[in-house]
A and B are shown apart, each in its own frame.
Chain A
Amino acid sequence: DIVLTQSPALAVSLGQRATISCRASQSVSISRYNLMHWYQQKPGQQPKLLIYRASNLASGIPARFSGSGSGTDFTLTINPVQADDIATYYCQQSRESPPTFGGGTKLELK
């Protein structure tokens, strides 16, 4: 299985940039397609898709969220961070079955 590694937590100030990283144990890219996706989960809520295929904003997601990366290294950027963005963020790969998730990065206020 492809293992995705995320830092457990990140502290950020409101209005600043947050950069959340995800590293895969092997490449999750096929040709020009980067099969990494990002989700936001707030306490007591279901996960919400933010970014699909590394850099595509999901429907209804604000433009302050963006994604980048290829191969094994991917980044979710939130700029500027708002109070409503305090949540846990998960990456997920769909390069190989089974689909796997990172352990999550909890975004906290500094």
Chain B
Amino acid sequence: EVQLVESGGGLVQPGRSLKLSCLASGFTFSNYGMNWIRQAPGKGLEWVASISSSSSYIYYADTVKGRFTISRDNAKNTLYLQMTSLRSEDTALYYCARQGIHTMGITAYFDYWGQGVMVTVSS
């Protein structure tokens, strides 16, 4: 069974940093591109970042480019999101999501999602 379990969220002051983790199990992690997607309270879904299976290709939403860094450790089956210079508008539930196996090109759909981890940016 595919499982994605996020951790590392919490309350943080504006301008500070936070690092999220996503532990994957139930599939060969090193074969799949991975993504972070967020959802502000009561709002819709926003893709944040993606990373290819070997970390060769990394993409970011314009809203986080230069502030967030996605990475992965295939030996530990873990995906990361380092978030710096956090803003109130970054407040959201952050989901880790696996790239769908029938993805074409560089832009994916998402076939499995974690339960999400909440990040609240407030003074």
The CA-CA distance from A59 to B100 in the complex, in Å, is 11
Q: Which of B45, B102, B105, B106 is in CB contact (< 8 Å) with A47? A: B45
Chain B nearest CB: distance from A48 CB in Å? 7
Contact B45 A46 (CB under 8 A): no
Binds A, one of B8-16, B72-80, B113-121: B113-121
Contacts of A90 in B (CB 8 A): 44-45
Are A101 and B102 in contact, CB atoms less than 8 angstroms apart? no
- Chain B residues lying within 8 Å of A35, measured Cβ to Cβ, are 104, 107, 109
* B111 interface neighbour in A30, A45, A52, A100, Cβ under 8 Å: A52
What is the interface size of chain B, counting residues whose CB is below 8 A from a CB of the partner? 24
When chains A and B are docked, how far (Å) is the Cα of A48 from the Cα of B110?
Answer: 9
Chain B positions 21-71 with a Cβ under 8 Å from a chain A Cβ: 44-47, 59, 61-62
Interface contact B107-A95, CB-CB below 8 Å? yes
Is B103 engaged at the interface, CB distance under 8 Å to the other chain? yes
Alpha-carbon distance between A53 and B104 when the two chains are bound, in angstroms = 10
The yes or no answer to A82 lying at the interface (CB within 8 A) is no
List the A side residues contacting B59 at CB < 8 Å. Answer: 97-98
Q: C-beta contact mask, A83-110 vs B, less than 8 Å → 1, else 0?
A: 0000000101111111111111000000
Which of B104, B107, B113 has most chain A Cβ within 10 Å? B107
Q: Write out the residue numbers on chain A whose beta carbons fall within 8 Å of the beta carbon of B109.
A: 35, 37, 49, 52-53, 92, 94, 99
User: How long is the Cα–Cα vector from A52 to B115 in the complex, in angstroms?
Assistant: 21
Interface hub of B45, B111, B113 (most chain A Cβ within 10 A): B45
State the Cβ distance, B4 to closest chain A Cβ, in Å: 9
A58 touches B111 (CB 8 A): yes
Beyond A52-B109, A52-B111, A98-B47, whether A47 also contacts B104 by CB under 8 A is no
6 closest A-B pairs by CB:
A37-B109, A46-B113, A94-B107, A101-B45, A97-B107, A99-B47
